[in-house]
Amino acid sequence: MAGKKLTCLNCAQLNRVPFDRLGDNPKCASCAAPLMPRKAIEITPAILAKAAANDDVPLVVDFWAPWCGPCKAMGPEFNKAASELSGKARLVKMNTQEHATISSKMNIKGIPTMVAWQNGRELKRKSGAMKMWQIVNWVPEG
């Protein structure tokens, strides 16, 4: 079956979704979790590794920590952007305090930092808090 490859952000199952169905709230064939969530959700380093390597749709990760003021300010804006971009990109969050080794592994120098991946490669990254419209404009086209 042709379609866009998407890793389930809940169970890590690789799914294929027809391009014209990305905006129709597709669900994982294995666990029925939404594949294109309308809000940013927390993921694990293992799911990040699989999704970054396999997904055909842009995956944008907000690397953040609960003690970071700019991260807390950007959180609601990132969620609004996730809703705005649903069907075009997936926006997820990675807690760098909870997953302490991820910052060095991903070469994150400061937080918040957004990194976008698609088709197994990093497309771009940006550090610093942004408003919803800035995030939407920054995210690469899927």
The H or E element containing residue 15 is strand 14-17
Look-up of token digits 């990093």: 122
Look-up of token digits 């390597």: 53
Among the listed residues 8, 11, 31, 71, the single catalytic one is 71
Are 95 and 42 contacting, i.e. CB atoms less than 8 angstroms apart? yes
Among the listed residues 8, 11, 28, 68, the single catalytic one is 68
Reply yes or no on whether 68 is catalytic. Answer: yes
Reply yes or no on whether 71 is catalytic. Answer: yes
Closest CA to 78 of 19, 110, 126: 126
- 19 DSSP assignment: G
Quote the CA–CA distance of 133 and 115 in Å, as a whole number: 17
**What amino acid positions are annotated as catalytic residues?**
68, 71
